[in-house]
Amino acid sequence: MITRDECHALDATDELAPLRREFRLDDKVIYLDGNSLGPVCERTRARVQETIDQEWAEGLVTSWNAAGWMATPTRLGNRLAALIGARSGEVLVADTLTFCLAKLIGGALDQRPDRHVVLTDAANFHSDIYIVEAMAKRAGRPVTVKAIRREALTQELDDDVALVMLTHVDYRTGEMLDMKDITSKVHALGALMLWDLAHSAGAVPVDLTDADADFAAGCTYKYLNGGPGAPGFLYVRSSWQGVLENPLPGWLGHARPFDFELVYEPAQGMQAFVTSSPSIIALAALDGALDVWDHATMSQVRAKSLALTDLFIQLVDERLPGQFDVVTPLDHALRGSQVSLRHSDGYAIIQALIESGVIGDFRAPDICRFGFTPLYVRYIDVYEAVDRMVEVMAVGSFRDPRFAVRHAVT
Ligand SMILES: Cc1ncc(COP(=O)(O)O)c(C=O)c1O
DSSP letters of 378-397?
-HHHHHHHHHHHHHHHHHTG
Q: Is the CB of 127 under 6 A from ligand 1?
A: yes
Task: State residue 403's pLDDT score.
Answer: 86
Tell me how far CA of residue 191 lies from CA of 182, 194, 202, in angstroms: 11, 10, 27
DSSP letters of 30-82?
EE--TTT----BHHHHHHHHHIIIIIITTTGGGHHHHT-GGGHHHHHHHHHHG
Task: State residue 400's pLDDT score.
Answer: 86
Is the pLDDT reported for residue 135 higher than 90? yes
Contact residues for 385 (Cβ-Cβ < 8 A; gap 6+)? 30, 32, 312, 353, 358, 360, 370
- The strand pair at 325-326 and 338-342 is best described as antiparallel
Task: State residue 410's pLDDT score.
Answer: 84
Q: Is the CB of 174 under 6 A from ligand 1?
A: no
Q: From ligand 1's centre to the CA of 334, what distance in Å?
A: 21
Give residue 74's pLDDT band: very low, low, confident or very high (50, 70, 90).
very high
Task: State residue 307's pLDDT score.
Answer: 98
Which atom of ligand 1 is the closest one to the Cα of 167?
1
From 127, 206, 234, 362, the mutation candidate for ligand 1 (largest count of ligand atoms within 8 A of CB) is: 127
Question: Mean of the per-residue pLDDT values for the chain?
Answer: 97
379-389 tens-digit pLDDT = 999 999 999 99
Q: From ligand 1's centre to the CA of 394, what distance in Å?
A: 35
Q: From ligand 1's centre to the CA of 218, what distance in Å?
A: 8
Residue of the nearest CA to atom 8 in ligand 1? 97
- The strand pair at 215-219 and 232-236 is best described as antiparallel
Task: State residue 87's pLDDT score.
Answer: 98
Q: Is the CB of 167 under 6 A from ligand 1?
A: yes
Which residue ranges make up each domain of the chain?
4-16+297-404, 46-294
Q: Is the CB of 96 under 6 A from ligand 1?
A: yes
Fold assignment, 46-294:
Aspartate Aminotransferase; domain 2 (3.40.640)
Is the pLDDT reported for residue 408 higher than 90? no
Q: Is the CB of 106 under 6 A from ligand 1?
A: no
Specify the pTM. 0.97
Average pLDDT over residues 295-317: 98
| Phi, psi of 79, deg, nearest 5 | -65, -40
Report the candidate in 18, 13, 19, 9 with the shortest Cα–Cα distance to residue 225.
Answer: 19
136-157 tens-digit pLDDT = 999 999 999 999 999 999 999 9
What are the catalytic residues?
125, 196, 221-222, 369
Q: Is the CB of 195 under 6 A from ligand 1?
A: no
Using DSSP, state whether 223 is helix, strand or coil.
Answer: coil
Average pLDDT over residues 306-315: 98
Is the pLDDT reported for residue 401 higher than 90? no
Q: From ligand 1's centre to the CA of 63, what distance in Å?
A: 31
Fold assignment, 4-16+297-404:
Aspartate Aminotransferase, domain 1 (3.90.1150)
Q: From ligand 1's centre to the CA of 315, what distance in Å?
A: 30
Q: Is 282 exposed, middle or buried (0-12, 13-18, 19+ CB in 10 A)?
A: buried
173-214 tens-digit pLDDT = 999 999 999 999 999 999 999 999 999 999 999 999 999 999
Q: Which long-range contacts link 148-156 to residues 24+ away (Cβ below 8 Å)?
A: 148/119, 148/120, 148/121, 148/122, 149/121, 149/122, 149/123, 150/121, 150/123, 150/177, 153/119, 153/182, 153/185, 154/185, 156/119
